[in-house]
Structure 1
């Protein structure tokens, strides 16, 4: 269930109430006249089944509540109510299959913004991965994958393509390109510093690395894994199961490939730079392709589900 907190201009309250009451899957409607001060208006509270949430939010936006008032949405972790259970049963489809497009756009907007924190996480993850590839340490590689925040901009690109949002696409591309470029430059400097300290050497990079050599040797499996990761990543975002993103992060070799390319660049090993760069691009392309197709399929299936349910009703 979702909890909606609305600030509504007094002249629109009755229409908003009728909209909420007319939406299948709503419960616990509360109206507090004159409670809101900024902006001034009435406070309207209600709960709605997740599968009916996107339609209700769209109807409220059509009334202009997002401009003249406010729409706040929260996930309800626990609701002990027979009325809520009935609302979820009445709502079309299953909550786990529903996509809240405004929530997805907001989440990807936040995660795909080029910020100091984003750059710091990506740079640190790439440096950890650099230690992993030089030492041939798979544990460090996995740790670097988990730290890397690059799935946010990738999800932003997928969402922008489906929603035809040029602004989100440009923001996400900027975060992805600038982020990886900055992280690789910093990691190249980091590897040279480690070399000067005697902790890294070119012989370590050139040695047989059975645990990490895959990062500069792309093959068909790299693309297959990226496709599967893109599907899993978008499903975790749209179903509000963000904890699954950690598993997605450690299944692709974006950060390790960038790290290997950065270290190899510092040593002038352009063969590994090329192989690692191809590995990076293959993974990025696979995730974006699969994520976009997943969103398109979800939108199609959800519209079909709601249409079938409406016809039966």
Structure 2
């Protein structure tokens, strides 16, 4: 269940009440007349089944409540109520499958912001992966994958394509391109410093590296894994199962490929640098394609659910 707290201008209270009362899957409706001071209006509280929430939020925005009042949505972790159970039963579909498009857009907008924190995490992840590349250490590679925040902008691009939101697309693309450019440039400097103090060695980069040589040898399996990870990542975001994102992060070779390209470039091993770059681009493309198609499929599925 989700809990909605609405601040509604007094002249639209009856319209909102009519909307809430006629939406399947809503319950626990309460009205506090004149309780809101900034902005002025009535406060309306209600619970709604997750699978019915997206349509209700869309209608509330159509009434201008987000512009002239307020719409706040909270997850209800526990609701001991027979009415809540009935509301969830009456709502179409399953709550775990429901997509809250407004929540998804807001989340991806925040995650795709080109901030100092985002750049720091991506740069640190790339440097950790650089250490894993030189040491041929799979554990460091997996750790770097988990630290990297690049899935946020990738999900933002997928969401922007489906929702036709050019500002979100540009914001996400900027975060992705600038983020990797800064991280790779910093990692080139980091690898040269580590070489100067004797901790990195060009011979280690050109060795057999049985644990990490896949990073600069892209193949169809790379694309297949990226596609599967893109589907899993989008599903974890839309179903509010964020724990699955950790598995997605350690399934794709984006950060390790960027790190290997940076280290190889620093040692002028341009063939290996280009192979790593191909791996990076292949993974990014696979995630975007799969994520976009997954969102389109979910959008079509829920449109049919609402029609029923």
Q: What is the alpha-carbon distance in structure 2 between the residues aligned to residue 246 and residue 78 of structure 1?
A: 25
Matches within 5 A, 1:1-313: 1-308=1-308
Q: What is the alpha-carbon distance in structure 1 between the residues aligned to residue 264 and residue 7 of structure 2?
A: 56
Cα RMSD, aligned residues only: 0.6
For the 8 Å contact 1:97–1:302, the answer to whether it is kept is no
Q: What TM-score do you get using the length of structure 1 for normalisation?
A: 0.98
1:14-42 superposed Cα distances (whole Å, 9 cap, x missing partner): 11111100100001011111111111111
- TM-aligned CA deviation for residue 299 of structure 1: 0.7
Q: What TM-score do you get using the length of structure 2 for normalisation?
A: 0.99
Query: Is there any run of 5+ residues in structure 1 with no aligned partner, and where?
Result: 309-313
Q: What is the alpha-carbon distance in structure 2 between the residues aligned to residue 82 and residue 196 of structure 1?
A: 69
Runs of 4+ more than 4 Å apart: none
Q: Which moved more, 1:128-137 or 1:299-308?
A: 299-308
Q: What is the alpha-carbon distance in structure 2 between the residues aligned to residue 62 and residue 166 of structure 1?
A: 21
Query: Is there any run of 5+ residues in structure 2 with no aligned partner, and where?
Result: none
- TM-aligned CA deviation for residue 306 of structure 1: 2.3
- TM-aligned CA deviation for residue 233 of structure 1: 0.3
- TM-aligned CA deviation for residue 173 of structure 1: 0.3
Q: What is the alpha-carbon distance in structure 2 between the residues aligned to residue 75 and residue 145 of structure 1?
A: 29
- TM-aligned CA deviation for residue 75 of structure 1: 1.1
**How many aligned residue pairs are there?**
308
Q: What is the alpha-carbon distance in structure 2 between the residues aligned to residue 54 and residue 296 of structure 1?
A: 15
- TM-aligned CA deviation for residue 62 of structure 1: 0.9
SS at structure 1 position matched to 2:243? helix
